[in-house]
């Protein structure tokens, strides 16, 4: 029980590390996912191909392999960044593929006529997507995007294996200090629960506010 | 024939895979003319209507609007679409916007009007179609006939040169059809250029300058309503009319 109280700052650092990874990677994943979803429904063929390739490659690569590729691969091409930034890049890009597909399924739930009506009024592709289609798609993608971000929070544990400070990695320090491993993991689990339940709560609020009215 | 052509289709062909849905279509619609397109389902009349503002692409031929050939994509096409209003069978009002926002949105975003000016004009137009009191409601709260009248107001808000109607009353209950046709009759009376795909023969008779009869992707007859309904030239048209005018 005293694992937590004795090592509060270690847990705290790990917790904040995971929060930071989750937050930044989420923003990156949402922005990239939004962009890729736009590409995948764009009237320009080359953009559609790019979006499809992005999703196919990132969604089908094991996340650990992607971490190796980014953290060990990119420095070989002269791109040297802090490991934490690399971890955010890997997590964000990986998750963006899933966000893209969730958004795209939402776009497909909006009747075709909505976009046609917007275009027939002289709106550009960007306007009809941004003003008419996506606001309606948004309502139906709140639950799957929430799930994807929760998965992102848990996937961030992989960064610990690459010496980025995060929650799961704290067990190594603590077990070396001789603390009971079971209790260590219990408190780590509680830490993850706080983050994932917070994401759930946020998306519940969003859904109540914006969800599809039936 | 009208002196001043607004919409001109020349040798237009379109295929859906093997299916030749538009075959060598030639059609000219003059300024202020009301052309009603009728024909059996699958004859290509909706496709024709949608091709005029390029919601459907064509394989060959030319479509000109006010002397300008239809642009391929991008800004020029958007600009041209703003000049041609479209009213759909399924209304297609923006479900997440109020009635007033539906009519104002494109005025603000495409015509770059100020929000207040756009709303003022929207309310005038909604009043014209008898729906000013419904302005704060959402489309789902309105009846089909009301939604379609809002859709007409939304198209008019862009001050289009022409209006295209793609079976505007086909999704409506019989008692709501008239309220929509009445608005359309008024528009025709006010000199709006209109292409109307419809099954409403009464409207064709009373409001159209010309009736275009399509079958199997071709224009079979193109005449005044009086001539067409009393004395159709082709067997295909006779057959069609005998089926729909019997009851």
Would you state the pLDDT for residue A57? Answer: 96
Question: Does the CB of A61 have a partner CB in chain B at under 8 Å?
Answer: no
CATH number of the domain that A145 lies in? Answer: 1.10.3720.10
Q: How far is A118 from chain B (nearest CA, A)?
A: 8
Would you state the pLDDT for residue A214? Answer: 44
The packing angle between helices B99-109 and B144-156, to 10°, is 20
Interface residues of chain B, partner chain A, Cβ below 8 Å: 53, 55, 73-75, 78-86, 88, 90, 92-96, 105-106, 109-110, 151, 154-155, 158
pTM exceeds 0.95 for this model: no
Would you state the pLDDT for residue A43? Answer: 83
Would you state the pLDDT for residue A10? Answer: 86
Q: Between these two residues, B247 and A29, which has the higher pLDDT value?
A: A29
Cross-chain residue pair B79–A122, CB shorter than 8 Å: yes
Q: What are A26-85's pLDDT values in tens digits? A: 999 999 999 999 999 988 899 999 999 999 999 999 999 999 999 888 888 888 888 889
Among candidates B2, B65, B76, which has minimal Cα distance to B32?
A: B2
From A114, which residue of chain B is nearest by alpha-carbon distance?
A: B92
Q: How far is B41 from chain A (nearest CA, A)?
A: 20
* Chain mean pLDDT for chain B: 92
Would you state the pLDDT for residue B26? Answer: 94
Q: How far is B97 from chain A (nearest CA, A)?
A: 9
- Cβ–Cβ under 8 Å, residues A99 and A33: yes
Q: What are B51-102's pLDDT values in tens digits? A: 999 999 999 999 999 988 988 877 889 988 999 999 999 999 999 999 999 9
Cross-chain residue pair B158–A122, CB shorter than 8 Å: yes
Q: What are B201-241's pLDDT values in tens digits? A: 999 999 999 999 999 999 999 999 999 999 999 999 999 99
CA angle in degrees (0–180, nearest 5) for B163-B164-B165: 120
Instruction: Count how many domains chain A has.
Output: 1
- Cβ–Cβ under 8 Å, residues A160 and A166: yes
How far is residue B168's CA from residue B155's CA, in Å, rounded to a whole number? 13
* Strand B68-69 to B84-87 pairing: unpaired
Residue A9 has pLDDT above 90, yes or no: no
Question: For residue A68, what are the domain limits?
Answer: 2-210
Q: What are B146-155's pLDDT values in tens digits? A: 999 999 999 9
From A214, which residue of chain B is nearest by alpha-carbon distance?
A: B140
From B154, which residue of chain A is nearest by alpha-carbon distance?
A: A121
Tell me the H-state helices in A61-180. Answer: 63-68, 83-109, 112-120, 125-127, 134-155, 170-176
| Torsion sign across C-alpha atoms B200, B32, B6, B82 | negative
Cross-chain residue pair B92–A111, CB shorter than 8 Å: yes
């Amino acid at each position: 029980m005293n694992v937590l109280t004795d090592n509060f700052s270690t847990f705290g650092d790990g917790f904040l590390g995971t929060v930071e990874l989750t937050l930044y990677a989420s923003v990156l994943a949402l922005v990239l996912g939004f962009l890729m979803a736009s590409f995948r429904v764009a009237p320009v063929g080359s953009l559609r191909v790019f979006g499809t390739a992005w999703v196919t490659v990132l969604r089908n690569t094991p996340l650990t392999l992607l971490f190796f590729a980014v953290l060990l691969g990119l420095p070989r091409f002269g791109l040297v960044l802090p490991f934490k930034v690399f971890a955010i890049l890997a997590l964000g890009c990986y998750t963006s593929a899933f966000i893209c597909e969730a958004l795209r399924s939402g776009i497909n739930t909006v009747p075709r006529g909505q976009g046609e009506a917007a275009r027939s009024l002289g709106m550009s592709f960007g306007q009809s997507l941004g003003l008419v289609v996506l606001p309606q798609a948004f309502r139906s993608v709140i639950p799957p995007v929430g799930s994807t971000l929760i998965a992102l929070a848990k996937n961030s544990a992989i960064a610990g294996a690459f010496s980025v400070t995060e929650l799961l990695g704290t067990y190594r320090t603590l077990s070396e200090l001789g603390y009971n491993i079971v209790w260590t993991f219990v408190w780590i689990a509680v830490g993850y629960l706080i983050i994932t339940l917070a994401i759930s709560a946020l998306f519940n609020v969003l859904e109540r506010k914006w969800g599809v009215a039936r | 024939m009208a002196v001043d052509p607004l919409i001109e289709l020349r040798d237009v062909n379109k295929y859906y895979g093997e299916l030749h849905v538009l075959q060598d279509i030639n059609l000219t619609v003059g300024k202020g003319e009301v052309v009603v397109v009728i024909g059996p389902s699958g004859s290509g009349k909706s496709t024709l209507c949608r091709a005029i503002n390029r919601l459907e692409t064509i394989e060959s031929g030319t479509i000109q609007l006010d002397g300008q050939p239809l642009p391929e994509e991008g800004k020029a096409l958007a600009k041209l679409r703003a000049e041609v209003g479209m009213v759909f069978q399924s209304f297609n009002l923006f479900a997440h916007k109020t009635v007033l926002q539906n009519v104002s949105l494109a005025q603000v975003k495409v015509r770059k009007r100020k929000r207040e000016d756009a709303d003022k004009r929207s309310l005038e137009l909604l009043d014209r179609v008898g729906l000013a009191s419904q302005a704060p409601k959402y489309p789902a709260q309105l009846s089909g006939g009301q939604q379609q009248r809002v859709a007409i107001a939304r198209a008019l808000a862009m001050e289009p040169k022409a209006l295209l109607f793609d079976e505007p009353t086909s999704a409506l209950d019989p008692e709501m059809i008239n309220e929509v046709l009445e608005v359309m009759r008024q528009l025709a009376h006010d000199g709006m250029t209109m292409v109307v795909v419809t099954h409403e023969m009464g409207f064709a008779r009373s409001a159209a300058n010309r009736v275009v009869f399509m079958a199997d992707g071709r224009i079979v007859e193109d005449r005044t309503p009086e001539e067409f309904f009393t004395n159709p030239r082709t067997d295909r048209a006779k057959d069609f009319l005998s089926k729909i005018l019997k009851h």
